[in-house]
Amino acid sequence: MAETTRRNHPYSGVIAKLKQAGLRPTRQRIALAKLLFENEDRHVSAEDLHEEARAASVSVSLATIYNTLHQFSELGLMREVVVEAGRSYFDTNTDDHHHFFHEHSGQLEDIPSDQINVAEMPSAPPGTSVSRVDVIVRVSGSAD
């Protein structure tokens, strides 16, 4: 009653995905990749993912969650978003897009790239090159 559900995903793309990224497809990475990539795009904190894993009876240490999230981000499988001091979110959507940040709930929401447009980009300071542009539109509930 615990092993039978495993058989469904014959060999989901995640293993291939991990291999392509140059990561050894370990039990933990496979499980996390499934949680992250076989559902809708979303924004998770390390704690969120840890909890999701527990809920799915996948035993993974928090250290591994952090390692994995960082590896996935460095390899371009996902993207780290910083909105609040003291908490990182990881976004499974790697398309070019920006975010709404709901100040009261702490939630992040994607802004599709065609709904926002940064014009007149300044040139990067001498000796540097732009690695990314983040736009965060902070919104507060009208009832605040």
Partner DNA sequence: TTCTCATTTTAGAATTGTTCTAATCCATTG
Partner DNA sequence: CAATGGATTAGAACAATTCTAAAATGAGAA
Interacting residues toward DNA by CB under 7 A: 23-29, 45-47, 59-64, 66-68, 70, 85-88
Restricted to residues 55-84, the positions that interact with a second copy (CB under 8 A) are 80, 82-84
* 40 scored as a contact of a second copy (CB under 8 A): no
Spell out the SS3 assignment of 31-97: HHHHHHHCCCCCEECHHHHHHHHHHCCCCCCHHHHHHHHHHHHHCCCCEEEEEECCEEEEECCCCCC
For the four alpha carbons of 97, 76, 66 and 38, in that order, the dihedral sign comes to positive
- The contact pattern for a second copy, residues 83-122, with x = CB under 8 A and - = no contact, is xxxxxx-----------x-xx-----x-x---xxxxxxxx
- Rank residues 56 and 80 by Cβ distance to a second copy and give the closer one: 80
Nearer to DNA, 42 or 70 (CB): 70
Q: Which two tokens stand for residue 104?
A: 């009261």
Sign of CA dihedral 121, 93, 59, 84: positive
Sites of contact with a second copy (CB under 8 A) = 80, 82-88, 100, 102-103, 109, 111, 115-122, 124-125, 127-143
